[in-house]
Structure formats: structure tokens, C-alpha cells
Structure 1
Amino acid sequence: MTAPNSGGPGPADDAWVLATDDPAALVGYHPAFTGNGRFAARVPAAGNGFADTPVRTQFHVAGLYTGRDGSWSRKASLPAWSTLDVSDGSGSFNAAFTGPPGAPESAPDEGELLIGGDWAPVTSPRAGTARGVERYRQCLDLHTGAITTEARWTSPAGRVTDVRYEVFTDRSRPYVAVVSVTVTPHWEGELVVTDALDERAALRIRTVERGVDPGQIWALVEAEGSGVTAALVSVLHGPDSLRGPGHDTPVPAPDGTAAHTIPVRTSPGRPLTFTKYVSVVTSHTADDPLSAARAQAEEAAREGRERLAEDNRRAWQREWEGDIVVRGDALLQRRVRASKFYLLTSVHEDSPWSPSPSGLSSDGYNGHVFWDTETWIWPGLLPQHPHIARSVLDYRVARLDAARDAAATGGHRGARFPWESGLTGEEDTPEWAPFGRLEQHVSADVALAFWQYWLATGDEHWLRTEGLPVLGAVADFWASRVTTDAEGRCHINAVIPPDEYAVGPHDDSVYTNVAARESLRFAARAAEAVGQSADPQWAEVANRIVVPLDEVHGIHPEFAGYKGQLIKQADVVMLAYPWENPQSAEATRADLEYYAPRTHEDGPSMTDSVHSIVHAELGDAKAAFEYTRRSVEPFVRPPFEQFAEARSGGAFTFLTGHGGFLQEFLYGYSGLRWRADRIVLAPILPTELDGVALQRLRWRGRVFDVDIRHDGTTVRLHTGGALPVETAGTLRHVPAGGEVTIATRTSTPYR
């Protein structure tokens, strides 16, 4: 057994299981989270149902947004579909995990950082000790997304029962989840099982319809103001021996929640298993969500739990072919895999929705889509999951017209994507915040992701029909957005850079200018790639955009008039990565050394990942690894290795942080960069690690591994034609089915 809240693995030989032996009684417990990319659940210490503390458990499905109502849309939360409680009449298992009578509602403690309307406790979550619970263990299996919880429960009446829950969302059936409980009473009498769709978890919805039939409950809910509906259906199966008269007659719950209870007779030591098959379907995917959900749940129940568990395992196995193996640091390995898992829980190849900073784990940041997706989360998907990466881009394609309208409203051509995007793609930033008007670099961030997808996949049909329309529209926006001075130079005035402390507005944000310039060039190259004529203004404006440089300090000033103020997060340093601005190593080093100490210590978690990647690019593996530690250790919350946004709290689970952390391994230590005719590698390895292996990377029909070790890096090609690899200025070709070994760079600290 692992130490309480250790976040350590289960069995010693299983590096894929995150576990805790503490039933939420001690400091630091943050509830588990799982999803299949379409819908998801946060699972509390009890292993099922709804809990308010220490972090409110929410249940989200992709695309369920409220209306704008004159302001902005928000993510709506479903009823808790995982509730499957057991009781002996004197108390229930779930009630053993609630706080003591009169305990305060969950709220941030003094000193916690509230960002985006969500919070993550750091030192003192206000949860009560689980009463009458021992032999407790809760595990998250990263291989399958299944969360198991087991305990020995002594009820208020003194009856002892062993309880084991399992919850998983089926990745092979994106509208289906399974909740099962096995109870082994050590007493004789009546046990009551309650299946519920607990509406205490619901936020910003109204219930249109709810119902209870023998063995089945359902609810149809509607997000406030948008008309988007979601149907939830639960089909409950128990032991066949209990299917006689008097055992399957539902007793509706009195509080309006769709629920029923089933009383059963127990015998000491005889295990009883109950399984609920849940389906969640929205009006985005079905004209009649309730009928569709009912059909999905009933079919799942006919297939049975074992079949669904096996299909789910196989679906996850396909995703985990793209593993990231870290040798020499077991804890870091778990955190890398956990980060990849949490990204995958909120995206699916068949779901044209883009993840918010908190994904499907919560309504943090109102569930809106920011630059976080394209800049921090999405790059962690592209190298090994291009099929999923494309579905995320589909979200922007579907909202291109809204972006065109936004540009026209501002007096510009082309398309300007919103700083915060929800259901429709209109600007969803709260009216009091200036970022929606001024943080316009987001359009360029979108363009970078579209260009990288083309470089990585070479999908010409996609580029012609989806990629170029977006790239061209963004280029048109920037071409009309610039201001030309008397000398013919182009400026971009009155913006906020990525550094949100620089509210401004400011002129010539160097990040924005470089990003705009490159977006114009992406569009021109994309047009050329599909045999179309590029607008000559794109190249003309790109070549005249000002890129400020402070000749005295040898750095790029963050914006015109920047005087060395404290910054919130990575900004200028990102010129080197991901933008690959053509600049000398000396300029990159100067920017890094100047801005890293000026970055707020309590800023968001993804900043240090950029510092790590840029240090690796410069050849300093020691500094890169220091920043790897900085990018994860203060932000990860036990026991399930989930990122919070900031050291002191913030949005949780913070996919932006997870995505940035993964990029350190995918692009930092490997030096991987995308090109249309080759890949570029510049591997380096810190002494603290024995190796890093990137498995099943994909580039233009090839599938390959990159295995980085101190004595050399091996590139193995599994499928596809010869793989062109550039390293240290030399182009080599990995033969089909073969491998080549290239040098791993020697670390050269420059401090």
C-alpha cells in the first residue's frame, strides 16, 4: 500500500496506476477525474456520486453551453450520473464521506488564487474525516481511465460491509459510461441500493423532463438560454437472483431528482454486484437526444460490463501506442503519463469541440476556449494523435464566419478569432475585461496550429478545403490591421500581448508582431502548396512589419516603451519557441536571461515549460531540467497528479499546464520541429534522466520512434516511406522498416 496521498502507483510493477490509501481525511486530497473525450466525471472520495468538498465534483459533456443573454455563454454542468449509493437503513456509504454537521461550504482559504472562477485548495481542503471507513483505497488506471474505490464500511448501526466501486467512460462508445458497485455485507438484513441522477451537481440548466421506470431512470435537461439539451439515461442491472417480484420495483426519490431505490436481502459474506449503464447524448448529435440516449444505454446493458470494459481497454490501448517513456525518474514518468491522460480525457477524434483550460473537468474559465488550446494543449496531441488534433481544429473551422463578423465589426477584413470562445464563436470575454478587444494575437495562435497540422500531416485536401480558408482569413485580418508609418514600416498598435499584466493598450507587442508576420507567410505558403495564387499583400505586409529590438540590451522589448516591468507569463521568450523567429542564439539567450527573472513567481504553470524548451534548444540540458522541475512540482496536486493553474490554486484540472509540460518532452529534449519536406531533431538529455523515448510519432504517413539516450539517439521507422531527418545541419534518411542513430547533443551550460 502506498503512503496516504502519495500519488504513488499501485503494485510495484504497475507504473500506470495512481492511488491513495486516504479517504479524503488528510491534507491535499484532490478528487480523481476521468472522461472519454465526449463527456466526463470528477469522482469523489466515495467513488461515486456528488460531493461539494474539497473540490466540487462536476459532470460535463462537450458543447453544453448556456446562451449569451446579452453577455457571455458559460459551460453548463450535468446532474451527477455516477451516483450508485448503498445503505443499511442507518446510514449510507456516501454519507460517510460528507463533512460533519455544520461544516462550512467549500470556498477558497485565505491566500488561495482565484483564476477563472475555479479554485484548487493547496493546504487545507475543508472536508470531514470519512466516518466508519477503513481499508480504503482509490486508484486511477491511466491505461483505461477506470477509477476504482474500495473500503470496509461500518455503518452507524455497526454493520460491516466491504464496498468496491468502478467508474469508467467508454472511449469506444463516446456516449456511454459504466458504474458498478460490489458489496459484501458481513451481516444479514436489508440492503438498499440507490441509483440517481443527482441534480445537486447541475449548474446553469433546467430539467425539462425526468422519469423512473423499472430498472431505468432518465432526465432531459436544457442549458439556460441556448436551447441545447442533454439527455441522461441510466439502466440498472443487479444479480439475476434479485429479478423476481418485489425486487425490481422502483421507489422514486422525493426530492425531484431522477432516482430509484432497490431493497435486497443480504447474507453474510455473499457479494452482490450492481451495474448502471449510463448514456449522455446532446442535441448537437441527435434530433431526439432522449431516444438516442435510451437506445445507447439499453444496448450497453445488453452488451454487459465485461464487454464494455474490454472495448474501452482496446480503445485506450490504441491511444497509448503513442507513449512517452521517461527512464530514470519514476515520479516524472507517472506525471508525464498523467498529463497525457488528462489531455485525452477531454478530446476525441469524433468530437468537433475544442478543450477549455480545464477541459471537461470543470467549468473553470466558464468552459471557454482560449489561446491555451492551440498554443499549449493542442501541440501535445499533434505528434502522436493527428486524428484527434484535426477534430480540435474543426471547432475553429466551424466558427470562421463568426470570426469574419468580428473582424468586420472592428473595421477590418478577414477573420479575428475571439479571445474567449464558447458555443457560437462570438466574443465571450466578460464585458469588463479588455482582453476580448485587445488580446488579438489569438488569431495568429490559431493560424500557427493550422500551419503545423499541414506540416505534420501533408493533408492537401484538408489544406485546400479547411486550412487555407482559415489561414487566408487570418492573413487578411492582419494585412488590414496594420498601420503604416511615413517610412513604410507596418505597426500593430493598441493591443495586449500574452503578458496580461501589460493591460495597456500597447503598440508593437513583439510577440503579436512576429506572430502576425508569420501568419501572413503561412497563408502565402499554403496557397502555393495547393496551386493557388496568394494575395501579394500578404508577403508585402509581412516583410514590412516592425520587430522591435533593444540594441543596448540586445533584447526584444515586450512592447514599445517597455521598461522592465514584472510580467505574468511567457511572452517574448516564445519568439524562439514555438514561433521559430529567425534570430541568433545570442538573441534567444538574451531574451531568456532578461525575461525569466522578470516573470511573476506565482504566474500560471505553463510559463516554465517554455523556459525549459528554449534552454534545451540553446544546449543547456541542466537548466532545461531545472525548469522542467519548476514547471510541474509546485503545480501538481495529489494524489492523482493533476495540475492546478498556479502554485496557490486557480483552475483545476489545468490542461494548459499539462500540455505545456508534455511539450518539454515532445519538442524540448527531442528538438522536434515540423517541416514540409523533413523533420528536424536536436536531441539533448539531462544527466538526471537515463533516457526519453517518444513512441509512434507521425509525420506525413510515417510512424516512427525517437529514443534519446546519452550515448546516442535512435530513430526507428515502423511504417511509411523513408523518413528524412535533419540533425545538426545534416539530412539523413531512415529507411523503411529500419533505423538510424544520430548524436545526442552534449549539454553546454552558458551561465
Structure 2
Amino acid sequence: MKLLILNISLFLTIFGNATATIYETRFPGVTYDDDAWTLTTTNLDQGHYQSRISLANGYFGINLAAVGPFMDFDVQVDGDNVNGWPLFGRRQSFATIAGFYGHETILNGTNFAWLYQYGEGESAISGVPHWAGLLIELGGQLLNASVDSSQISNFSSTLDMRRGLMAWTYDWTPSGSSSIHVLYEMLVHKLYVNQAAVRLTVTPAEDSNVTIIDVLDGDCAVRTNSTGTGFDQSSAAIWSAVSPYGVANVTAYIYSTLTAEDDRCLDTLAQVTSGPFLGSNESSIAQGVNAKLTAGQSTTFTKFVGAASTDAFPDPSNIAKMGSKAAAQAGWDSLLKSHAEEWAYVMPTDSVDSFVLPSTGKVPEDPDVVELHINAVTNPFHLIQNTVGENAIAAANNNSDLDTHSISVGGLASDSYAGFIFWDADVWMAPGLVVSHPQAAKQIAGYRAKHLDQAKDNINTAYQSSKNQTGRFSEGGAVYPWTDGRYGTCTGTGPCFDYEYHINGDIGLQLFNYYAATGDTETFKDQYFPIYDAVAWFYAELLTFNSSTETYGLMNATDPDEYANFADNVGYTLALIQSHLQTANVLRDRLGLPQNATWADTASKIKIPTNEEAKIVLEYAAMNGSIQVKQADVVLIDDFLGVTNEYSLPNLDYYAGKQSANGPGMTYGVFSIVANEISPSGCSAYTYDLEGSQPYTRAPWFQYSEQLLDDFGANGGTHPAYPFLTGQGGANRVSVYGYLGLRLSLDSLNVSPNLPPQISYLRYRTIYWQGHPVSASSNTTHTTLTRLPSSLANANTTYLTNAIPVTIGADTSVAVSLPPNGTIVVTNRLIGYNATIDGNIAQCKPANSSQAYLPGLFPLAAVDGAISTKWQPVFSNITSSVIVDLGAPGVGINITGFHVDWAQAPPMSWQVDFSTSADFSASSTAYNSTNVTISTPYIAANADDITAYVGNTTDVSLPSGVVATRYVRLSISGSQGAPSTAGASVAEFAVLRDGGGRLVPNGVVTSL
């Protein structure tokens, strides 16, 4: 990672920043400007979904080709260009409008196919014509997504996240012709949600005759029926209308108005009726103009788009038409100004985390920290562009229908997972948003409120399940489906019974978090508490009472770990139900409603399954030791529910070792938060933070993939969702809920700060508690909290003039007062400086390796003081090394031994060397061995036993000691694990000083 000061013509042209501070990223050709919040790539990667940007404004969105604002289709990679379950369609660009779901009898994939006999069908998201295309034709050659890369030179593309602006610039040289310099700029208007615009500026090297083609490409309008197209020459407009399958009374309209800098160009305007850009769908339509370009002179063409559907607007045709026309009348400059102003309002600088050091004004020169700093902008940006702000709702005549759409797994520019709404929005995306962008999170809750009546009706489908006992359920309850689209009904992909009952409590968590963050009692009481209360009613009736043990249990359910379906007494869900019932009574009391004694009694008799020998909560009662976990499950109890107990640390260690490499990319953010909360020593929270982001981040736009590996042949057969907003939402939680230790509660602002040694300063996003903004920042040893003005409109009025009570950690009995405009300072816990292994001077020190390692199994994991993380090279047939920088305080210390935890794959041989230089040009060997004993051998007969995590360990004593120099290197070769092709693993490498001691920020002391 390098810090560069560059003068870039693209920034001069588009972004007006002559001298920019640029950080190189780990992706070749991709740089980041921290002042402008821009990502720039000079690498053209065509036909791959990872390189396509998704743009949206919360109402409509679109996915765009790497080379410009075009419709794109994936080329096969290793025989694969398929999107995943349940559609299994071809990977291609997608565009849609919020809520534009269809109705089909069955999809290609499902969970409970037999439920289709009851006729509910499925509600997958439908597409609209790809509306951004503005193509150039010269001499029969076309500039579109599939243009020959050999014709493109000086390529650069930039995403401006401060202004929500996308740009592509390059030289296009068609075969046999001179070059044309091309600049595309594009926005999806954040304030005027029915509008978007694409501007094309062309500058030829020689006089040229070109055709500019404005396209609405119907190949993008998947799962729809065309209801009409039109061309209006007098207004230079085209339009297309489509209805989703099975929903004839809903129609989406897309209008495009073409303008030219030189109005004479429009004299040649005509409908274009043939060409490859029209695809094979009857909803396609195009118009074009012939233009005579003069050498060296720039000419600009702009298309202004309007979009609307029946779901939010009773007259979508007129809304879309007027949106396109109004945008054209306003012009590009005016649109960009109001659009950028709205982005500045919804995502101001203080609403994102910052790792910039106050002393230098720059991010530390650590590539991992730089990437976290970039993610602190990209993650909320990719989420927030799928939400509608309060100003936008007001600008649309206070259209409340705009505030009732949740966020799907891939957002408005992806049909991954059929655009379904899962728990992903409620507990992975919403928590990081609600504390800093409460309006963005509000629509996630609004979607659940919109479907409450249907959730109540869903109780009546219990007869389709194992819970079909007459009279078991009463009218007071509500049950939500696992997947949801237009209707909120129980379906084959989204059953309500005998599956993931936790979805209901997850929704409850989201509603509670909204109340705690905003203090908006009126909205909560009127719209959200009825959901919370109805879920409690359902949960109390869902449980089964065991009269012999006098406990309540849950039968035939699936916890978040979907590798273990249809189990009894699932751990997370039972803990969630218990918490939900207890909290429902707390909320009833707070809102002046009577307590429900039945719920209190039921909650007190819920038995959560545990294994007392291993001291862990079981994922399900019949679980054995052979379990492999798809995604975070039991560990969610400590994170989402905040229930820290004697099982917490063993849970983390045990289930980290059982985690599948093929699980979705949101698990490790949870592990980071929990590790920072409960670990008594070390810095594994930082390791997990990186593990939850870096392996899933894709170039160039820092969008996440669902999987570590995108190759379905290598990842267990999954075609990854993309972009995977669930993972980005999970990573967006870490700083606030992890390092600051925020736990949302109604009675106090509860924090428990701890920065890992790798992060020396963190300015957190402005957070809201009970509607009142608080600024927070941490250095190594202390955290500062400051009350800010400008509370939310519906904030809890108690604290407008009174102090906020601040509590620290688990002890909430003692509160510190934070008055209006006041500041308090809290001492950090400094757990990274507590030595897990007495006298280990390598713990949490910088570590790197020049050999390839498995995704997410970083070299720093070998020294983070935790056995739940590990470093593992890719290959066992070469020598791999991890080099640890002990720092100046480590030089000259007498080393008396080493301790290594090899996890489950000890090497065949290993060696430890010291050196005064990082390149080990001169070094001394302290120890080597070609005989590594397996201390915990695998015994097949015991595979089902549940035992606390125990790794294979080696302890070495150096009777005469060795003197440490600045750098120490651990080298390993061979592997005794399986598969034998992968390298050996290192869970912990300890360099032990004479006399023991603990670590402190400024060095090493000898007393504990």
C-alpha cells in the first residue's frame, strides 16, 4: 500500500480536484482518494459480474458493464455463468424498481416443494428494461459492453461515493478508424427518485460521422410481459412498459429523453428498429441521431430517464414521463448539483468511521487498516444507495409508499436470491445503519409493518405443518415467512412453519434496535410494537411443554446454520425466543400495557441445550462433534442478544473450528464483535474483522461476494450472490458494535471500548441513542464521547435538556452522565496487551508472509493470542514462513522458549530464526525440528464426541536462551493434516521471554 500525490486528468475533468491524495489498494490498478471518496480503476475487466457496478437511489437501480453504462452478459468462467438459487438464470445486468415482484407458480429452486399444492406460488423480483445504454456506432462498429478490448486504450473508471456519480473515460479506436475520446458520466438521482441521467462526451481525433443510440434493452426485463413501447420524435423520447409475471395490475414505465449539446443533431432523430442492442425481448426500443464530429472538439449527448411503477404511484406512466421531461429541462448540471447535495445530506463525512490519525491527517501506512478505512465508506454507500431518504420522500409529495421497501440480498441492481427479503436486512444490514442512518433503516422496519396483517393470517397455515394441532394457535400471533417478496405469504422457498422460526425474533431485534437508537416512541408504539407483541404471542404458543422436565422446547426447527435442518431444541432460536418473550414484557411495561404472566413463565422454563463437559451451547440438542457449520449460529447469542455467560468464550473457540470455508460472508464480523467483547486477551477481533471483509471484497468497486471463492466448483457448489449486501452490512457493524462495544438498550448508552493494537485511532461514525447524536473516538488507551446538537425530530424528549446515562460493559448499575454539549472520557480495556501466554512478546505484533495462504487464514492469526484463528499456507510441498516484527522493545530480550499451537495440521518440520532485518539477509537459527509429534491425534471412533477445543501443541525450552533481534521468522514445511496438499496450520506462535510478563502499549513489563 502506497500513499501517492497525483495529478490526474480524470479528476480534473470530472471531480474538480487538481491534486488528490491517493491510496493504492491491494487490487492492481485500483486506487482510492480519501478526500473525494472515489475509487478508480485502470483495469478493464469485461464480461464478469465482479467488475460491474450497481447503482441505485433506493427506488430504482441498475447494474452496469465495466466499459460503460451498458447492458452486459457474463462470459463463462470455468464453464459457469449461472446466478444461484432459486432462479439459476444466466448472469447478466439487472435493473428493477422497488417492490416490483411478480407471482409464479414455482421457481427453479425451492425449500419445500410440497407446499406448492396449497397454491401460494412464489414472488420473485422482476426486471425492467436496461435503461442506461447510450451507444456509439461508427462505420458499422459498435461501442457497447462487448466491444473488443483491443480497441480500448487509456481506460479509467471512477466511482464517486460523495456524489453518487459513476464515470468511464477512455479512447475508442474502431478497426480502420481514428480514435474517439469517450467520457461517460451517470447518476441515479438521490433526491428525485424517479429520475436518472447518463451523459456522453465524445472528442474525435479526426472528423467523424457517428450515430448515437439511446437504448432501452428489454433483455434485462426478465420475468415480465411487455405492455407497450413508444417513440415520440417531437420530444425525442422513447418509452417501454412491462408487467411482472402473474401481476397484471402492476406496470412499470421507463422513459428516456435524448438531448444534444448541438440541437441540430436532433434533426436526424429517428427510431432505431434493428441492431444487436435490441436483444430478443419485445420490450426493447431505441432511438438514434447522426452526428458529425469535428476533430479535437467535444460534443455532449445526454439521456434523461424517468421510472415509476404502480406499486408506489397510481399513474406510473405520467410520473415516469414527467420525470424524464423535468430532468431534461433541468439539465445535467442542475441535476448533478441537487443529487450531490442530497448524497451529502444522507451520508455526510461524520456518518462513516475514519481511521485517519489526527496527528498526520492520513491513514496509517498499514494496508489492512487502509482497507478497513476504505470499507468504512464503501460498505455504507452500497447499502444506503438502496434506501430512500426523508428528503426524497418529501420531494415525492410525501409518498409514504417509498418507505415500505426493505433491502434484498443484492439490492436493486441484482436478482440474486430472486430479490427475496430474508433476515439479512433485519439483523445484518439494519444494525449498522440504524445507529448512524436511522431513516435508511426505517424502511426495513416499514416493510415488516406493511406485511403484519398477512403475518397474522399466516397463523392459519399451521395445518400444513407439524404444528397442525387444533386450537394450538390463537388470533393474537403473527408468523413471517423465511423469504418474502410482494405478499408476505408462506411459500415453498419461504415456509412459515417447521423451518427458520428465528426470522420472527430477528425482525423483533431490528424493531427494538430502531426504538433504542431513535427514541421514536410514537412510531414504535403504533407501527412496530404490534409486530413485536404478535411475535411474542406466536412464540409462546409455538413451544412445546415437557411435563417430565417442566421445560419448554422447540421441535422441528432450523437454526441459522442451514447445514442442520429440522432439529429439536435449536440453541440460537431458543435463546432468541426466551429473550423476545422477556423483552416483550419490558416493552409492555414501558408503554403502559399490562404484563403477560404466561410469557414470563414460559421464558423462565425454556431450556437451552448445552454440553457441560465442553462448556458450550449446543446448536441443537442432538448435535455431535462431527458438525460443520454453514454460518454464525450459536455465537449470535452473545452478539445479537448480548447474553454473555460461562459458555461464551468456549462457544467462540469451538464453533470457529467448526466453521465451513464455504459459508456466506457475514459470519466473521460476528466473531470479531464477540471476540472483542469476551476475550480476556489478544487481538483476534482484528483478525476476524479482516477475515470478514478482505476475502469477500472484489475489485474494483469493493462490492462483496457471498463466497470466499467465486468458483462454484471449488466452493461447494454455490453460485455466489453478488453484490452481497448481507456481508457488507455485517462488516459495517464491527467498528461500532465491536471496537466501541455498543450494546443498544433503552435505559443507557452502553459501551465497552477496546481497540486492538493494530488500530491506533478510530473516529466512529456519529451514533444516535434515543434520537440524540453522540460523537465517539478511541485512541489506544481511552475513548471520548461527546454530545452533539441536532437531535432527531422524534427523539426521546427526556434527554433534550437532561444528561444521557452512559454505562460501561456488563455492569449497567453505575452510570456516568453525558450532558448536552458535554464530553466524557472512558478507559479502554486494552485486552490486546494482556498476554494469552505468559511472557509472549510476539502477541499482536505485525506479521506477514510472502507465500500464498488460504483465503482469510492470515499470517497475523498466528500471533493474535487466540487459538480460534489460524494461519495456513496454500501448499505443503514448499517452505512457508511468517515473519513477525517484534519492534524496538523486543530487541535484546532473552528468549527462553517457544510455544506453538498447530491446530489440526502440524507440519513435518519447522524452524525459528532471528534477524536484524526484515529480509533475513543475515539470520541466526534459534531452533529447528524435523519431528513434530501430534499431541492430539485424530481418532475416527471419537469423531462424534463433543470436546472443548484442543490443538496440537509443541513447547520448546531453550536452556541457554537466545537474544531476540527485531524480527523472528517461523518456517514450516510439509503437513500432517488433511488434505495433505494444503500447508500446515499455526493457531498460535509464542516467543517467550525470560521471567514472563504482560504487554503494554509502550513495550514489555515483567510484572503481571
TM superposition score normalised by structure 2: 0.69
- Is 2:721 the counterpart of 1:655? no
Q: CA deviation at 1:690?
A: 2.3
Q: Corresponding residue for 2:313?
A: 286
Higher relative contact order (CA 8 A, sep 6+): 1
Q: CA RMSD in A?
A: 2.0
Equivalent-residue separation in structure 1 for 2:175 and 2:733 (angstroms): 50
Structure 1 residue corresponding to 2:103, chosen from 45, 64, 67: 67
- The reply on whether 1:475 has 2:536 as its aligned counterpart is yes
Are positions 1:229 and 2:292 aligned together?
no
Offset at residue 534 of structure 1 (A): 3.2
User: How far off its partner does 1:92 sit?
Assistant: 1.8
Compute the displacement of 1:664 (Å): 0.8
Structure 1: stretches of 5+ with no match in the other structure: 99-128
- Partner of 1:418 in structure 2? 481
| Residues 688-744 of structure 1: per-residue CA shift (max 9 Å, x gap) | 122222232112231111111113111111124433211254421222123211112
| Match among 229, 234, 240 for residue 219 of structure 1 | 240
Q: 2:336 aligns with which of 309, 313, 336?
A: 309
Q: In the alignment, does 2:45 pair up with 1:21?
A: no
Tell me the SS of whatever aligns to 1:357: coil
Closer, same or farther in 2 for the Cα pair 1:4/1:601, shift >3 Å? closer
1:324 corresponds to which residue?
353
**1:141-220 equivalence runs, <5 A:** 141-214=160-233, 215-220=236-241
> What does residue range 262-277 of structure 1 map to in structure 2 within 5 Å?
262-277=289-304
How big is the shift at 1:273?
0.6
Please give the alpha-carbon distance, in whole angstroms, between the structure 2 residues aligned to 1:324 and 1:8. 21
**Distance across 2 between alignment mates of 1:45 and 1:242:** 31
Aligned to 2:557: 495
Once the 2 structures are TM-superposed, how far is the Cα of residue 144 of structure 1 from its aligned partner?
A: 1.9
1:112 — aligned with what? Answer: none
- Aligned partner of 1:691 in structure 2 is 761
Q: Give the match for residue 731 of structure 1.
A: 815
What is the match of residue 416 of structure 2?
364
Q: CA deviation at 1:474?
A: 0.2
2:671 to 608, 611, 618: 611
Task: Give the letter aligned to residue 742 of structure 1.
Answer: V
Contact 2:481 2:488 in 1 (8 A): yes
- TM-score, structure 1 normalization: 0.91
Q: 1:383 to 1:555 in 2, by over 3 A?
A: same
For 2:64, which of 43, 46, 64 is the aligned residue?
Answer: 43
Distance in 2, Cα, partners of 1:85 & 1:429: 42
5 Å-filtered alignment, 1:234-273, equals 234-242=256-264, 246-253=267-274, 255=278, 256=282, 257-273=284-300
TM-superposed CA distance for 1:641, in Å, is 0.8
* AA matched with 2:66: A
Deviation at residue 549 of structure 1 after TM alignment: 2.1
What is the DSSP-based 3-state SS (H/G/I as helix, E as strand, rest coil) of the residue aligned with 1:131? helix
1:655-691 superposed Cα distances (whole Å, 9 cap, x missing partner): 1100111111120111001121211111111121222
* Pair 1:749–1:593, CA change in 2 (3 A): farther
Q: Alpha-carbon deviation of 1:3? A: 8.6
CA distance in 2, matches of 1:26, 1:36: 24
- Show the counterpart of 1:567: 629
Distance of 2:384 and 2:778 partners within structure 1: 25
Please give the alpha-carbon distance, in whole angstroms, between the structure 1 residues aligned to 2:208 and 2:741.
65
- The CA distance in 2 between the partners of 1:36 and 1:230, in whole Å, is 16
Distance 1:635 1:483, change over 3 A: same
Q: Structure 1 residues 28, 430: closer, same or farther in 2, change over 3 A?
A: closer
Q: Please point out which of 739, 742, 750 is paired with 2:826.
A: 742
Report the Cα distance in structure 2 between the residues aligned to 1:45 and 1:61, rounded to whole angstroms. Answer: 22
Aligned to 1:279, the other structure's residue is in SS state strand
Q: Deviations over 1:616-663 (max 9, x none)?
A: 002446100111111111111111111100112210100110011111
The question of whether the paired residues in 2 share the 8 Å contact of 1:577 and 1:614 is answered with: yes
* Equivalent-residue separation in structure 2 for 1:37 and 1:683 (angstroms): 33
Q: Tell me if 1:58 matches 2:121.
A: no
The alpha carbon displacement at 1:265 in A equals 1.3
Mapped to 2, the partners of 1:223 and 1:749 lie a distance apart of 60
Name the CA distance, whole Å, in 2 between partners of 1:287 and 1:161. 44
1:136 partner SS: strand
**Alignment of 1:394 onto 2:446:** yes
Question: Which deviates the most, 59-68 or 408-417?
Answer: 408-417
Aligned in 2, Cα 1:387/1:330: closer, same or farther, shift over 3 Å? Answer: same
Which letter maps to 1:93? L
Q: Could you tell me which residue of structure 2 aligns to residue 556 of structure 1? A: 617
SS in 1 for 2:528: helix
484 and 167 in structure 1: CA distance in 2 versus 1, 3 angstrom threshold:
same
2:96 aligned counterpart, secondary structure: coil
What are the Cα deviations for residues 341-400 of structure 1, in whole angstroms up to 9, with x where unaligned? 111121224431111111213111111111111111111211011122122111111111
Alignment of 1:93-172 (within 5 A): 93-94=143-144, 97-98=146-147, 130-172=149-191
In the other structure, the counterpart of 1:118 is none
User: Any idea what the Cα deviations from partners look like across 1:31-69, whole Å, max 9, x if unmatched?
Assistant: 112111111111112211201025521112111111143
Q: CA deviation at 1:314?
A: 1.1
Q: Contact between 1:609 and 1:660, CA under 8 Å: does it hold in 2?
A: yes
Deviation at residue 89 of structure 1 after TM alignment: 2.4
Equivalent residues in 2 for 1:414-563, closer than 5 Å: 414-430=477-493, 437-486=498-547, 487-503=549-565, 505-563=566-624
Gaps of 5+ in 2: 1-7, 9-23, 76-90, 106-118, 357-363, 390-401, 463-467, 711-719, 790-799, 837-865, 867-1008
- Are 1:9 and 2:31 matched, yes or no? yes
Q: Distance in 2 between matches of 1:26 and 1:621?
A: 43
Calculate percent identity across the aligned residue pairs: 27
Cross-structure match for 1:404: 456
SS of the aligned residue for 2:258 comes to strand
CA separation in 1, counterparts of 2:314 and 2:528? 29
Which of 1 and 2 has greater Rg? Answer: 2
* Matching residue's letter, 1:326: F
Q: For residues 178-223 of structure 1, what are the alpha-carbon distances to aligned partners after superposition, in whole Å with 9 as ceiling and x for unaligned?
A: 1110001122232110001011222101110101112101011101
Q: 1:27 to 1:357 in 2, by over 3 A?
A: closer
Is contact 1:38-1:351 (8 Å) kept?
no
Quote the Cα distance in structure 2 between the aligned partners of 1:173 and 1:252.
Answer: 31
What's 2:772 paired with? 702
Report the CA distance between 1:251 and its aligned residue.
Answer: 4.3
> When the two structures are aligned, how many residues end up with a matched partner?
713
**Amino acid corresponding to residue 305 of structure 1 in structure 2:** W
Task: Describe the SS at the equivalent of 1:334.
Answer: helix
- Find the counterpart in structure 1 of residue 655 from structure 2: 595
CA contact (8 A) 2:178 2:206 kept: yes
CA-CA distance at 1:541 after TM superposition: 1.2
1:609-688 matches, cutoff 5 A: 609-619=669-679, 620=681, 622-649=683-710, 650-688=720-758
